[in-house]
A and B are shown apart, each in its own frame.
Chain A
Amino acid sequence: MGEKEKRAAELVVARKELAFQNVEKAKRAAELGIANKELKQSEKLLKNSLKEVSDYIGALDETTIIALTDKNGIIKKANSNFCKISKYREDELIGQDHRIINSGYHPKEFIRDLWETIASGKVWNGELKNKAKDGTFYWVDTTIVPFLNDQSKPYQFLAIRVDITKLKESEEQLKIVNKELTFQNEEKEKREAELVEANKELAFQNEEKDKRSAELIIANYARSLIEASLDPLVTISAEGKILDVNEASIKVTGVSRKKLIGTDFSNYFTESKKAQEGYRQVFEKGFVADYPLTIKHKNGNLTDVLYNASVYKDDKGNVLGVFAAARDVTEQKWAKDLRIANKELAFQNEEKEKRAAELVVANKELAFQNEEKEKRAAELDIANKELAFQNEEKDKRAAELVVANKELAFQNEEKEKRAAELDIANKELAFQNEEKDKRAAELVVANKELAFQNEEKDKRAAELVVANKELAFQNEEKEKRAAELDIANKELAFQNEEKDKRAAELVVANKELAFQNEEKDKRAAELVVANKELAFQNEEKEKRAAELDIANKELAFQNEEKEKRAAELVVANKELEAFNYISSHDLQEPLRKIQVFASCLITDESQNLSQKGKDYILRMEDAANRMQGLIADLLSYSRTISTERKFETVNLSTIIESVKKDFADTIEEKNAIIEVSEMCDAHIILFQFRQLLDNIIGNALKFAKHDLPPHIIIKSRIIIGSEENNQKLLSQKEYSHITITDNGIGFEPKYKDNIFELFKRLHDKEKIKGTGIGLTIVKKIVENHNGLITATSELNKGATFDIYIPYK
Chain B
Amino acid sequence: MKNIFLAEDDADDRMFFEKALKIINTPTQLTISKNGLELMSNLEILTAHPPPDVIFLDLNMPFKNGLECLKEIRESPKLKKIPVVIFTTSVNDNILDNTYQQGANYYICKPSSFRLLVKTIEMVLTLDMKQTTRPAKENFFLKIT
Q: Hey, which bits of chain A sit against chain B, CB under 8 A?
A: 584-585, 588-589, 591-593, 595-596, 598-600, 603, 621, 624-625, 628, 658, 665, 687
Contacts and interface: CB of A to CB of B under 8 A. Distances in A.
B25 interface: no
Contact of A585 (B12, B13, B19, B90): B90
Contact of A592 (B19, B92, B110): B110
A600 B60 contact: no
A595 B90 contact: no
B115 interface: yes
Contacts of B89: 584-585, 588-589, 592
Given A585-B89, A687-B93, A599 B114 contact: yes
B100 to A, nearest CB: 15
B60 A595 contact: no
A599 B118 CA distance: 12
B113 interface: yes
Interface string B10-28: 1011001001000000000
B25 to A, nearest CB: 17
B131 interface: no
B145 interface: yes
5 contacts: A585-B60, A595-B113, A596-B16, A603-B115, A625-B112
B138 to A, nearest CB: 8
Interface of B: 10, 12-13, 16, 19, 60, 89-93, 110-115, 117, 138, 145
Contact of A595 (B19, B91, B112, B138): B112
Contacts of B112: 591-592, 595-596, 624-625, 628
Given A584-B90, A596-B113, 14 more contacts: A585-B60, A585-B89, A591-B112, A592-B89, A592-B112, A595-B113, A596-B12, A599-B113, A599-B114, A599-B115, A600-B19, A625-B112, A658-B138, A665-B145
A658 B138 CA distance: 9
Main secondary structure of the interface of A (DSSP, over half): helix
A642 B75 CA distance: 34
A585 B65 CA distance: 15
Contact of B92 (A584, A624, A628): A584
A589 to B, nearest CB: 5
B117 A596 contact: yes
A347 B28 CA distance: 218
A748 B60 CA distance: 47
Contacts of B12: 593, 596
B114 A600 contact: yes
A603 B114 contact: yes
A465 to B, nearest CB: 125
Contacts of B110: 592
Contacts of A592: 89, 110-112
Contact of B114 (A591, A596, A665, A687): A596
A119 B110 CA distance: 143
Contacts of B10: 589
A584 B10 CA distance: 17
A313 to B, nearest CB: 154
Which 7 residue pairs are nearest across A and B when measured between Cβ atoms? Answer: A599-B113, A595-B112, A584-B90, A599-B114, A585-B90, A592-B112, A600-B114
A589 B89 CA distance: 6
B91 to A, nearest CB: 8
A598 B116 CA distance: 13
Contacts of A621: 113
A596 B111 CA distance: 8
Contacts of B90: 584-585, 588
A397 B76 CA distance: 178
Contacts of A589: 10, 89
Nearest to A687: B93
Contacts of B91: 584
B22 to A, nearest CB: 12
Nearest to A594: B112
Contacts of A585: 60, 89-90
A369 B113 CA distance: 192
Contacts of A588: 89-90
A665 B143 CA distance: 12
Contacts of A593: 12-13
- Most A CB atoms within 10 A — which of B10, B12, B89, B112? B112
A656 B49 CA distance: 48
Nearest to A584: B90
Contacts of A598: 113
A595 B117 CA distance: 11
Contacts of B113: 595-596, 598-599, 621
A598 B114 CA distance: 9
A756 to B, nearest CB: 25
Contacts of A628: 112
Contacts of B115: 599, 603
B18 to A, nearest CB: 13
A593 B16 CA distance: 9
A310 to B, nearest CB: 160
